[in-house]
Structure 1
Amino acid sequence: MKKKLVYTLASIVVIFVFVYFGIGFYLAYTILRIDPTCGLHEGSLPNTWSTKADHHEYSVLAQSELRKNFPVEDYHLEDWQEVYFPSRDQDIKISGWLFNYFPNRPVVVVVHGIFPNGKCKPESNLIASLLIKNEINALTIDLRNYGQSATVSEYEHLGLSEYADVLGAFDFLQKVGFKKNQIGLHGISLGGTSVIFAAEKEPAIQAVWLDSSLAEFKMILRDEIARYGMPHDFGPAVSFAGKILTGIDPTKLSPAFALTSQQHYFFTHGDKDLRILKHHFDFLQQYANIHKIKADFWLAENSYHVDAMFKYPEEYSLRMKEFFESNLSK
């Protein structure tokens, strides 16, 4: 009788462990498995991109209408240079579009968010256009495993490896004539982690703009698990599975802790963001205040995820101009 009870309990434990980690692997796979395409924006160029291509995929009507009615033609750019350069992980080739319009003026590296994504998406193209309108040059890039850049993994590394691609862009811009103190960074959504980690490694980078960035690993892990309708108890299983799938330690994904007191940051976020919740913005602001980080903050009103650039393009543009011109050499 006792032996049967032991076998029964052991079986229950084995089944529980199998189910627990099985769900963890499913969630990690779903969150991290990269779609290397640009989705409905595949093939878009700086003079053809459109927010109308996928406006119908936004579940929030306000986001859909904002993109459906955005005057994209006003922001198309006709001149750019297709470039390739090595990541600081030297065997990885990175693709970019260089908008080098203004001699002896600053340049900003624009880094896209999570899949499906790339320099083809409206966000990167719009930022480049807003910068050019203010006589600031731009370089939009595809991170590794995206677009025309090299594919080296099937899984997203969340900026913990991709920061080297941003540093490759920093090195490339110096080779084509820009000075270190003329080069700034702009990270969109998950792209923010790549640029924050890149700046931490390269003190010469003085100006870093973050649009809708996450702040801290435990927060984003809880948020992501909740998006799939699961309790946060699956956090350890998802974290473990993520490490197995990617070979990186996802618990290091806390860009807030990589901010330095020697660099300048600008954080913007939508007050209604449902993808990367506002508490990440609040965490970053509190952390910056406590640790004397030189940072400015703009919480865009009535805005969802990365809405501000489409809803308030003129204000967004002027804020970027002021920030980058104040912190980069002209």
Structure 2
Amino acid sequence: MKLVNQRILVWLLGFMLLFSAAWVFIGKYIYETAANVNGECWGNLSNRPDRFHSRFWGIRTEHDLSEWWFGDYQEVELTLENEALRISAWVREAEGNAPWILFIHGLGSCKNNHAVLLPAAMMVRQGYSVMLLDMREHGASSRINQLHTAGQEEFNDVLSGWRWIHEKKGIPAEEIGVYGVSLGAGTVALAFAEEPRIHAAWLDSPFADMEKIIRSELQIAGFPAFLAGGAKLAGLLFSGIDIMGRTPLEGAESIGNRHLFIAHGKQDERIPVFHGELMCETANAFMLEDGSVECWYPSGQVTVGEDKTTGHAVAMLTELEEWNHQMKEFFGRTLNHQN
């Protein structure tokens, strides 16, 4: 009987070890898939501020953006405190003492994407100075392992741009706005939490919680949601980063007397609209008397090619005039700029 019990114990231990190894292996695959960065900027590397088009998955859409092209920009290189990384950025300075807005792209994208070039162009037309930067692992910035960290490290890239504007250009903190789209929106929210002097931020299609994103993607793919825990462990084991550690909700919770604008499409299939709604509810709950929260949930999709549609971060195209108006009003009010 004792021998039988020992054998059962050995089998149980063996099964647990095998299960644990499989869990970590599957988690590593999920982590590397979820965190992988497409180095081609989704086919947008040919875009420049003075000539850009809208593309999704490398496929150009029919939107004519030529009236928004702008010149007189230059490339700058930013440095980070305590990190030997090169962060590439474009800047376009307005005449006089104009406020600045910093633009941050999404996952696998870069500063060459219309999703930041178009809103930047709108603000250039309103008389703002703008900066568009490539986060690490993206565009022309430093690449280490082609994996993003869901903003856990990238928020430092955002802060490097903000500090360059504030310290090198001498722009007061209350005259600097930050704009992020998708992964960039979540990253901006983390920077907003880290740097209390960031006065105003616009979040386009933000995620509120990376764990919720991964769980949702797993369920869509037919896998059990609990495997998200394996992805978290794999990130810690193989990169030393918990991609689910800090969440953009920290930014909403830290709003205080500052200002947030949250825009999220109702038909967003990539980051469901409840993420934007949760960010909005949280910000409203933590906002103080002199702060402000504006939330906008537009409808609309964009046709890509012959048989694809997307509702993720498309309102700047489907609601172009209203998007332009909302940005003008929000940043004009919060950065005290009238053109």
Of 169, 176, 181, the match for 2:169 = 176
2:304 corresponds to which residue? none
Tell me, in whole angstroms, the C-alpha distance in 1 between the residues paired with 2:194 and 2:225: 32
Residues 1:273 and 2:271 aligned together: no
Q: Normalising by structure 1, report the TM-score.
A: 0.89
The verdict on how the C-alpha distance between 1:48 and 1:212 changes in structure 2, with shifts beyond 3 A counting, is: same
In structure 1, runs of 5+ residues without a counterpart are 57-66
Tell me, in whole angstroms, the C-alpha distance in 1 between the residues paired with 2:84 and 2:8: 57
Tell me, in whole angstroms, the C-alpha distance in 1 between the residues paired with 2:162 and 2:9: 61
1:226 corresponds to which residue? 219
Q: Kindly provide the amino acid, as one letter, of the partner of residue 164 in structure 1.
A: N
Q: After superposing the two structures, state which structure 1 stretch, 21-30 or 249-258, moved more.
A: 249-258
Q: Kindly provide the amino acid, as one letter, of the partner of residue 286 in structure 1.
A: E
Residues 1:316 and 2:326 aligned together: no
Tell me, in whole angstroms, the C-alpha distance in 2 between the residues paired with 1:190 and 1:273: 14
Answer yes or no: is the 8 Å Cα contact 2:190–2:247 preserved in 1: no
What secondary structure, in the 3-state scheme, does the structure 1 residue paired with 2:293 have? Answer: strand
Tell me, in whole angstroms, the C-alpha distance in 2 between the residues paired with 1:317 and 1:46: 17
Q: Kindly provide the amino acid, as one letter, of the partner of residue 101 in structure 1.
A: A
Tell me, in whole angstroms, the C-alpha distance in 1 between the residues paired with 2:26 and 2:198: 41
Answer yes or no: is the 8 Å Cα contact 2:91–2:132 preserved in 1: yes
Displacement, 1:180? 2.1
- The alignment-based identity, stated in percent, is 26
Answer yes or no: is the 8 Å Cα contact 2:101–2:128 preserved in 1: yes
Alignment of structure 1 residues 34-49 onto 2, 5 Å: 34-49=37-52
Question: C-alpha offsets along residues 58-95 of structure 1, whole Å, 9 cap, x if unaligned?
Answer: xxxxxxxxx62211212222221111121344532211
2:238 corresponds to which residue? 245
Alignment of structure 1 residues 7-26 onto 2, 5 Å: 7-26=10-29
1:61 corresponds to which residue? none
The verdict on how the C-alpha distance between 1:102 and 1:89 changes in structure 2, with shifts beyond 3 A counting, is: farther
Answer yes or no: is the 8 Å Cα contact 2:99–2:335 preserved in 1: yes
What secondary structure, in the 3-state scheme, does the structure 2 residue paired with 1:97 have? Answer: strand
Answer yes or no: is the 8 Å Cα contact 1:156–1:246 preserved in 2: no
Of 290, 302, 314, the match for 1:307 = 314
Q: After superposing the two structures, state which structure 1 stretch, 35-44 or 4-13, moved more.
A: 4-13
Residues 1:28 and 2:31 aligned together: yes
**What is the RMSD computed on CA atoms of the aligned residues?**
2.1
Tell me, in whole angstroms, the C-alpha distance in 2 between the residues paired with 1:325 and 1:86: 30
Of 193, 202, 211, the match for 1:200 = 193
Alignment of structure 1 residues 151-162 onto 2, 5 Å: 151-162=143-154
Of 83, 87, 103, the match for 1:110 = 103
Question: C-alpha offsets along residues 9-37 of structure 1, whole Å, 9 cap, x if unaligned?
Answer: 44433332222222111100111132333
Question: C-alpha offsets along residues 153-202 of structure 1, whole Å, 9 cap, x if unaligned?
Answer: 43211111111111111121131343322110001101012212222222
Tell me, in whole angstroms, the C-alpha distance in 2 between the residues paired with 1:18 and 1:146: 32
What secondary structure, in the 3-state scheme, does the structure 1 residue paired with 2:250 have? Answer: helix
- Structure scoring higher RCO (CA < 8 A, sep ≥ 6) equals 1
Q: Normalising by structure 2, report the TM-score.
A: 0.87
Tell me, in whole angstroms, the C-alpha distance in 1 between the residues paired with 2:56 and 2:16: 49
1:216 corresponds to which residue? 209
Displacement, 1:52? 4.7
Question: C-alpha offsets along residues 300-325 of structure 1, whole Å, 9 cap, x if unaligned?
Answer: 12341101011111111111111111
**Runs in 1 of length 4+ with deviation above 6 angstroms?**
none
Answer yes or no: is the 8 Å Cα contact 1:215–1:283 preserved in 2: yes
Tell me, in whole angstroms, the C-alpha distance in 2 between the residues paired with 1:236 and 1:52: 34
Tell me, in whole angstroms, the C-alpha distance in 1 between the residues paired with 2:47 and 2:297: 30
Residues 1:133 and 2:125 aligned together: yes
Answer yes or no: is the 8 Å Cα contact 2:55–2:114 preserved in 1: no
